[in-house]
C-alpha cells in the first residue's frame, strides 16, 4: 500500500473527498489519553475552544444557535434572513455573545457600519466568491470599516490572490458538497473537498497569503472534521451535523412517532420563495437534542484522532503527511454493521 503525502494527494489524478482518504498513524504516540490534546484555535482574533463554525443557513443558525455555540467556545454565524438582526442593531445590549453575522451583496453600507461598530465578524454569504461583485463589495467594506470579513465559496485556489487583495480575511472552501446543495448537479461545478482544500492550501503557501481557510461542506462526522483540519483547514463549517438540534430555528415536528426538524439549503425554494433557478434541497432531519451534545461528540472524536496521530495541538495535526486512499470496498468495510 502506498502512503500519500499532502503533495501526492494534491497531484492525484482524480478528485478526492473525505470518504476517499484515511489518516495513517505511523508514529509511537506520546499522547497518554484523548483528554490531553488541545483543540483550541485562533481565528480572526478570537480564541476558539474547538475550530467549529456554524453555517449561516436559515435552518441552522439563528439567535439561539449563535449564542449557544459562543458559550461552548465555537462560532455561530447568524443567517442573513433572520429578522432578529434588525433588533440587534437597534439594541446592541442584546448581543449576548453573538460574534458573527452574514450579509448579502445587497446589504446597505449603513447596516454594515452598525455591524462594524459593534465588532461583529461579517460573512458575505454568496455561492460564488469568484465574482467581481463579491470582490468589489469586499474591497469597499474593507476601505470603509475596520472589520473582519469572511467570503465564499470557492472550490479552487486559482483566485486566492484576488480574494486576499480585496481584503478577505477568510474564505469558505467547497462548492456543491453540502448535503442539501444541488449546485454540482444543476451546474456541473465543483470538486471533492479533499482536493479543494489541498489546492487552496498550496495556493496559500506558494503565495504566502494570510487568508484563513474554512472547510465548508461534506462533513458528516468528527472523523471528517479531523481530516479537514489535517489537510490544512483553519476551521470547519458545519450545517447538517448541527441541523435538527434544539437550538436551530424552527419547530420540532412529530411524525410516525419520531421527532424531526426542517433542514434546507440556502438556495432552496423554501428560502427563495419564488420561481427561479434552485440550487438547494429541503428535507427533514431527526431531532438530536442540544447542540452542546453534538459539539462534545465532535470534540471527543477530534481529540481521540489526535491521540492516534501523536498530535498535542491542531498545528501538529496540520503537519500530517501520512494518508491512505481507500477503495470503495475498503471504505465500506470500515462502516459499523448491525
d(CA 199, CA 217): 16
* CATH number attached to the domain at 6-22+33-333: 3.20.20.70
Mean pLDDT throughout 228-252?
96
Collect all residues with Cβ–Cβ distance below 8 Å to 86 and sequence separation of at least 6: none
Collapse the DSSP code of 235 into the 3-class scheme (helix H, G, I; strand E, B; otherwise coil) and give the result.
strand
What is 118-153 written as a DSSP string? Answer: TT-EEEEE-S-SSSHHHHHHHHHHHHH----EEEEE
Q: Check residues 145 and 283 and name the one with the higher pLDDT.
A: 145
Whether the predicted pLDDT of 55 surpasses 50: yes
In the chain, domain spans: 6-22+33-333
Collapse the DSSP code of 46 into the 3-class scheme (helix H, G, I; strand E, B; otherwise coil) and give the result.
strand
d(CA 102, CA 113): 14
Cα angle 53-273-182, degrees, rounded to a multiple of 5: 55
What is the model's pLDDT at position 189?
83
Helices marked H in 45-191: 63-71, 84-90, 109-117, 132-144, 160-166, 183-187
d(CA 265, CA 271): 8
Instruction: Give the up-direction half-sphere exposure of residue 266: CA atoms within 13 A in the CB hemisphere.
Output: 24
d(CA 15, CA 288): 32
Percent of the chain's residues with pLDDT above 90: 79
What is the model's pLDDT at position 273?
47
Whether the predicted pLDDT of 178 surpasses 80: no
What average pLDDT does the chain have?
Answer: 92
- The secondary structure of the chain in percent helix, strand, coil, rounded to multiples of 5, reads 35, 20, 45
Residue with cell 479537514: 228
Provide the whole-model pTM: 0.93
Whether the predicted pLDDT of 246 surpasses 90: yes
What is the model's pLDDT at position 93?
81
Using CB atoms within 10 Å of the CB of residue 54, give its burial: 0 to 12 exposed, 13 to 18 middle, 19+ buried.
buried
Joined together, the cell numbers standing for residue 325 give 486512499
| 74 is annotated as an active-site residue | no
Of these residues, 74, 123, 181, 311, which one is catalytic?
Answer: 181
Q: pLDDT tens-digit profile of 192-219?
A: 999 999 999 999 999 999 999 999 999 9
What is the model's pLDDT at position 270?
45
Q: pLDDT tens-digit profile of 122-131?
A: 999 998 999 9
Amino acid at each position: 500500500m502506498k502512503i500519500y503525502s499532502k503533495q501526492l494527494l494534491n497531484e492525484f489524478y482524480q478528485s478526492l473527498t473525505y470518504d476517499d482518504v484515511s489518516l495513517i498513524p505511523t508514529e509511537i504516540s506520546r499522547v497518554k489519553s484523548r483528554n490531553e490534546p488541545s483543540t483550541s484555535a485562533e481565528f480572526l482574533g478570537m480564541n476558539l475552544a474547538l475550530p467549529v463554525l456554524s453555517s449561516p443557513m436559515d435552518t441552522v443558525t439563528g439567535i439561539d444557535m449563535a449564542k449557544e455555540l459562543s458559550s461552548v467556545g465555537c462560532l455561530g454565524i447568524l443567517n442573513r434572513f433572520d429578522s432578529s438582526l434588525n433588533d440587534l442593531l437597534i439594541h446592541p445590549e442584546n448581543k449576548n455573545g453573538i460574534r458573527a453575522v452574514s450579509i448579502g451583496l445587497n446589504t446597505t453600507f449603513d447596516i454594515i457600519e452598525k455591524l462594524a461598530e459593534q465588532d461583529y465578524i461579517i460573512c458575505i454569504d454568496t455561492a460564488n466568491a469568484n465574482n467581481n461583485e463579491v470582490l468589489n463589495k469586499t474591497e469597499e467594506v474593507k476601505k470603509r470599516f475596520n472589520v473582519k470579513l469572511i467570503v465564499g465559496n470557492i472550490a479552487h485556489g486559482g483566485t486566492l490572490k484576488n480574494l486576499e487583495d480585496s481584503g478577505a480575511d477568510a474564505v469558505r472552501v467547497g462548492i456543491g458538497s453540502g448535503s442539501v446543495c444541488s449546485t454540482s448537479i444543476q451546474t456541473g461545478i465543483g470538486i471533492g473537498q479533499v482536493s479543494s482544500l489541498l489546492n487552496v492550501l498550496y495556493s496559500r503557501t506558494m503565495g504566502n497569503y494570510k487568508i484563513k481557510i474554512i472547510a465548508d461542506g461534506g462533513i458528516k462526522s468528527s472523523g471528517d472534521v479531523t481530516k479537514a483540519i489535517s489537510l490544512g483547514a483553519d476551521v470547519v463549517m458545519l450545517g447538517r451535523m448541527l441541523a435538527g438540534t434544539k437550538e436551530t430555528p424552527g419547530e420540532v415536528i412529530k411524525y410516525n412517532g419520531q421527532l424531526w426538524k426542517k433542514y434546507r439549503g440556502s438556495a432552496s425554494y423554501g428560502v427563495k420563495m419564488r420561481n427561479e433557478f434552485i440550487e438547494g434541497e429541503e428535507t427533514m432531519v431527526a431531532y438530536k437534542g442540544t447542540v452542546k451534545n453534538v459539539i462534545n461528540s465532535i470534540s471527543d472524536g477530534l481529540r481521540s484522532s489526535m491521540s492516534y496521530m501523536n498530535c498535542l495541538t491542531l498545528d501538529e495535526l496540520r503537519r500530517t503527511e501520512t494518508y491512505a486512499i481507500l477503495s470503495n470496498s475498503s471504505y465500506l468495510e470500515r462502516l459499523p454493521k448491525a
